[in-house]
């Protein structure tokens, strides 16, 4: 037998044994025999390096360390899930689905909610080419070399597969591996990981893949993203089975259930198994099993309507509240924080917990020195839920928020009707200044690449920047003089700053950090106003616009009444910050509260344009036809939504009728 054939046969054998061991959990040979096959392959490849291929089982480790992770843009956003914490919220979720789907019985796939790091794997012609973290859902980090070290992730798919396949799943660290890793870390006097999730995330984000290879990581797939043309199964459970046939592992605890009764039964069953499972979970996930029904239900901005995470009950612990400290947020919010005697809650060492505000402190009567119960639920910030009054010292004193900012000594005020007290220092307050600057330069705002938290902190500490406009006045010498900066880094930052001068008005508004003005509100404002018109608008005018309520209107007006804010804006414009002039949409609310659904292809405008125009007239635009729908706008090739609208007696508008409606 020639060497190339011998090598290929060994690879096929090893990959087949990997599949049985990691995917099917059904090993066919002892570990010693597997090791012998692997050593034989390594020996042959060492003698014939020209025959080594990227998908060989020997090529999981050995890449040169990286200096930085590169960015990967997700073709389809990696969305998060909406959460439910009790049976009532799950029943509400189910009722919404029944109403939208017009059916009483829905089949779900129930899955354990793995507590690890979400990962996207991209296969091209069966070969693993890219692995990326979720990041912000739209852009993540390229961790391909590290992912290749995870033994149950196939470097090449099995059987007949699509030319392009994106697989999504979770990288986790099993409990046993986590315990062993911490023992090793302790023996070397190195960092002890707080929980398996942190250990998994830290291991996967190593710049040196050789380090990742020493960590006991494993992977479970739970969905697909981008996929080239192929006839996929019509249920989520069947897709998971297909992934398994392609060589990708899925959680064995997955189960198809009927209705919410089946979901809740699965939840109780998994909850009783939780401690015995080999990996950490923090709840279960229910997904509508029928893919067509998933498509009908669609998505909200950051989550699918057809899936929900049912979180396990909050985990609690008893500890001592050592002191109550005060933090100042980006908007000047004064937040009391409990400094705790460190305690392990749900696998995480907790030393601080939020106390929310003065009203909450008064309600619970929390005092320094108290023995308290601390709760942590999933990723929610730990909070003090109860004090043990019987353990309180007789000398304890009630806590009152200071009337002066602990950072800048400005007055602290609390507006009538608001629970939060705030520092009045604004951009003059270093605490607010740093957070405001970080927000201003962030990716969703002005997107000044390279200007991260540490660099912003240096600018504030060195008194180089007092407000966002100062960023555009800094010289090359000032940038290069900062710690860990040099001429090249200074050039890069200044190039990013110059690039940021061209922006959209919506992103600019969001960057200003006006309270209650998030990305979507900023977009709505930019469609309705130019800068000068927005400066002069009243609370009443703002409240006539869809999705802008009295609180947001008040904050917007207050912001533009502050002379120092206007001065900063004018300085930014003088520095060259500009945005293209766009045609403003009407603010008439002639379609207020009318519900529209758009379907098919429109020829005179895009569906996004139609949606935006309808929203500016006060209409609500949804993806699902129901009895509550007032109008269905039907373009060319309208599908099942048109039929459903006719069945329900919903008024149908052709595109010409929509144009006339918008015109009038």
How confident is the model over 224-278, as pLDDT tens digits?
999 997 788 999 999 999 999 999 999 999 999 999 999 999 999 999 898 889 9
Using 50, 70 and 90 to split pLDDT, how confident is the model at 188?
confident
Residue 66 domain-assigned (yes or no): no
Is residue 323 domain-shared with residue 360, that is, in the same domain? yes
Same-domain check for residues 104 and 150: yes
Q: Is 636 helix (H, G, I), strand (E, B) or coil?
A: strand
Span 464-486, average pLDDT: 91
pTM beyond cutoff 0.95: no
Percent of the chain with pLDDT over 70: 93
Which one of 279, 311, 343 terminates a domain?
311
Closest CA to 288 of 306, 314, 310, 269: 306
Classify residue 382: in a domain, yes or no. yes
* Domain identity same for 568 and 643: no
176 lies in the same domain as 194 = yes
Q: What is the model's pLDDT at position 488? A: 92
Residue 325 pLDDT more than 90? yes
Whether 36 and 162 map to the same domain: the answer is: no
Claim to verify: residue 511 and residue 481 sit in the same structural domain: no
Residue 350: which CATH number? 2.40.50.140
Which of 59-63, 137-141, 264-268, 488-492 shows the lowest mean pLDDT across its residues? 59-63
SS3 content of the chain, % helix, strand, coil (to 5): 40, 20, 40
Are the beta carbons of 553 and 539 closer than 8 angstroms?
A: yes
Q: How many CB atoms lie within 10 A of CB 372?
A: 25
Q: Which residue would you say has higher pLDDT here, 357 or 582?
A: 357
**What DSSP string describes 536-562?**
H--HHHHHTSTT--HHHHHHHHHHHH-
Instruction: Give the Cα separation of 51 and 159 in Å (integer).
Output: 23
Where is the domain boundary, 435, 467, 500? 500
Q: Are residues 199 and 54 in the same domain?
A: no
Dist. CA 315–CA 619, nearest whole Å: 43
| The token pair that represents 489 in the structure block | 């880094």
Give the chain's domain count.
Answer: 6
Q: In terms of Cα–Cα distance, which of 369, 267, 259 is closest to 319?
A: 369
The CATH number of the domain holding residue 487 is 1.10.150.20
Tell whether 163 and 288 lie within a shared domain.
Answer: yes
| CATH assignment at residue 38 | 1.10.287.610
Of the two residues 529 and 111, the one the predictor is more confident about is 111
Whether residue 608 is predicted with pLDDT greater than 80 in this model: the reply is no
Residue 216 has pLDDT above 90, yes or no: yes
Q: Is the pLDDT of residue 585 over 70?
A: no
pLDDT recorded at residue 25:
58
pLDDT at 329: 82
- With bands split at pLDDT 50, 70 and 90, how would you rate the model's confidence at 101? very high
**Distance from C-alpha of 594 to C-alpha of 326, rounded to nearest angstrom:** 46
Q: How sure is the predictor about 561, in pLDDT bands with cuts at 50, 70 and 90?
A: confident
Instruction: Say yes or no to pLDDT of 632 above 80.
Output: yes
Average pLDDT of span 186-198: 79
pLDDT by residue (tens digit) across 277-288?
A: 999 898 999 999
Residue 70, domain member (yes or no)? no
Residue 586 in domain: no
Contact between 385 and 340 under an 8 Å Cβ cutoff? The reply is no
What pLDDT is attached to residue 546?
62
- Mean pLDDT is lowest, of 210-219, 313-322, 461-470, for 313-322
Q: How much of the chain, in percent, has pLDDT values that exceed 90?
A: 44
> 556-578 as b/e, with b when 16 or more CB fall inside 10 Å?
bbebbeeeebeebbebbeebebe
Residue whose C-alpha is closest to residue 614's, from 605, 626, 603: 605
Residues forming a β-bridge with 413: 422
Whether 1 shows a pLDDT value over 70: the answer reads: no
Asked whether residue 336 falls in the same domain as residue 441, the answer is no
pLDDT over 80 at 547, yes or no: no
Tokens linked to 535: 């400066």
Same domain assignment for residues 369 and 240: no
Helix (H, G, I), strand (E, B) or coil at 383: strand
Residue 156 resides in a domain: yes
Helices (H) and strands (E) in the chain, counts: 25, 22
| Residue 404 included in any domain | no
pLDDT at 31: 63
* pLDDT band, very low/low/confident/very high, at 611 (cuts 50, 70, 90): confident
Last residue of a domain, one of 261, 294, 311: 311
pLDDT computed for residue 67 by the predictor: 65
In a domain, 519, yes or no: yes
Least confident of 147-151, 394-398, 430-434: 430-434
What is the layout of strands, in order, in the sheet containing 117-124?
127-133, 117-124, 164-172, 218-227
- What is the pLDDT averaged over residues 18-42? 72
pLDDT reported for residue 107: 97
- Residues serving a catalytic function are 113
Q: Give the pLDDT of residue 378.
A: 54
In a domain, 408, yes or no: no
Q: What confidence tier does 136 reach under pLDDT thresholds 50, 70, 90?
A: confident
Residue 192 has a pLDDT of 78
> Residue 124: which of 169, 167, 79 has the closest Cα?
167
**Residues 286, 289, 293, CA angle at the centre, nearest 5°?**
110
Q: Residue 229, Cβ neighbours under 10 Å: how many?
A: 8
Pair 159, 171 in one domain: yes
Shared domain for 216 and 246, answered yes or no, is yes
pLDDT higher than 90, residue 43? no
pLDDT score of 56: 80
Mean pLDDT of 305-333: 88
Cα(33)–Cα(31) distance, rounded to whole angstroms?
Answer: 5
pLDDT of residue 400: 93
What domain range is 570 assigned to? Answer: 505-574
- Find the mean pLDDT for residues 384-407: 91
pLDDT level of residue 551 (50, 70, 90 thresholds) = confident
- Amino acid 402: pLDDT: 93
Tally of residues, the chain: 664
* Kind of pairing between the strands at 71-73 and 651-654: unpaired
Q: Give pLDDT, residue 586.
A: 52
What CATH number is attached to the domain comprising 168?
3.30.470.30
Average pLDDT, the chain: 87
């Amino acid at each position: 037998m020639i060497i190339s054939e011998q090598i290929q046969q060994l690879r096929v054998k090893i990959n087949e044994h990997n599949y049985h061991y990691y995917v099917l959990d059904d090993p066919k040979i002892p570990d010693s025999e597997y090791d012998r096959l692997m050593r034989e392959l390594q020996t042959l490849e060492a003698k014939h390096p020209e025959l080594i291929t990227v998908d060989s089982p020997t090529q999981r480790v050995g890449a040169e360390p990286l200096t930085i992770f590169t960015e990967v843009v997700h073709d389809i956003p990696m969305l998060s899930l909406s959460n439910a914490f009790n049976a009532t919220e799950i029943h509400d979720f189910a009722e919404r689905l029944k109403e939208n789907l017009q059916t009483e019985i829905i089949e779900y796939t129930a899955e354990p909610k793995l507590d690890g790091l979400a990962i996207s794997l991209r296969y091209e012609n069966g070969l693993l080419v890219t692995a990326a973290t979720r990041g912000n859902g739209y852009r993540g980090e390229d961790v391909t070399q590290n992912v290749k070290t995870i033994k149950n992730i196939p470097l090449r798919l099995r059987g007949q597969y699509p030319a392009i396949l994106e697989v999504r799943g979770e990288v986790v660290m099993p409990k046993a591996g986590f315990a062993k890793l911490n023992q090793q870390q302790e023996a070397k006097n190195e960092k002890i990981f707080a929980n398996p999730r942190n250990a998994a995330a830290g291991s996967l984000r190593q710049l040196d893949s050789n380090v990742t290879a020493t960590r006991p990581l494993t992977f479970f797939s739970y969905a697909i993203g981008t996929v080239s043309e192929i006839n996929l199964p019509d249920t989520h459970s069947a897709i998971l089975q297909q992934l398994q046939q392609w060589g990708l592992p899925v959680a064995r605890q997955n189960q198809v259930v009927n209705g919410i009764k089946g979901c809740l039964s699965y939840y109780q069953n998994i909850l009783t198994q939780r401690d015995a499972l080999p990996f950490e979970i923090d709840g279960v996930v229910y997904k509508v099993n029928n893919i067509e029904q998933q498509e009908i239900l669609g998505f909200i901005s950051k989550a699918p309507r057809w899936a929900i995470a049912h979180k396990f009950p909050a985990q609690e612990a008893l500890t001592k509240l050592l002191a109550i400290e005060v933090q100042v947020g980006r908007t000047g919010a004064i937040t009391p924080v409990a400094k705790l005697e460190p305690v392990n809650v749900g696998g995480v060492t907790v030393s601080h917990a939020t106390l929310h505000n003065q009203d909450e402190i008064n309600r619970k009567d929390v005092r320094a020195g108290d023995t308290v119960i601390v709760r942590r639920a999933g990723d929610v910030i730990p909070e003090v839920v109860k004090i043990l009054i019987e353990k309180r010292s007789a000398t304890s004193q009630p806590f009152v928020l200071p009337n002066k900012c602990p950072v800048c000594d400005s007055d602290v005020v609390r507006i009538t009707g608001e629970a939060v007290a705030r520092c009045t220092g604004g951009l003059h307050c270093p605490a607010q200044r740093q957070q405001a600057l970080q927000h201003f330069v962030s990716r969703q705002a002005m997107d000044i690449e390279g200007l991260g938290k540490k660099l912003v902190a240096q600018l504030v500490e060195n008194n180089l920047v007092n407000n966002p406009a100062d960023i555009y006045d800094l010289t090359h010498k000032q940038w290069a003089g900062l710690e860990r900066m040099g001429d090249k880094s200074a050039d890069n930052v200044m190039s990013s700053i110059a690039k940021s001068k061209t922006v959209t008005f919506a992103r600019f508004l969001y960057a200003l950090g006006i309270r209650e003005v998030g990305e979507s509100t900023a977009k709505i404002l930019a469609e309705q106003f130019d800068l000068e018109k927005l400066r002069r608008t009243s609370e009443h005018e703002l409240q006539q616009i869809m999705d802008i309520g009295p609180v947001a209107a008040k904050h917007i007006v207050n912001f533009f009444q502050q002379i120092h804010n206007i001065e900063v804006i004018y300085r930014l414009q003088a520095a060259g910050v500009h945005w293209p002039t766009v045609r403003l949409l009407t603010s008439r609310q002639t379609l207020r509260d009318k519900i529209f659904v758009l379907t098919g292809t429109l020829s005179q405008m895009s569906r996004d344009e139609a949606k935006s125009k309808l929203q500016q007239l006060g209409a609500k635009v949804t993806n699902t036809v129901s009895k509550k729908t007032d109008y269905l706008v039907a373009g060319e090739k309208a599908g099942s939504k048109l039929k459903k609208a006719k069945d329900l007696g919903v008024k149908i508008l052709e595109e010409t009728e929509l144009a006339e409606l918008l015109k009038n």
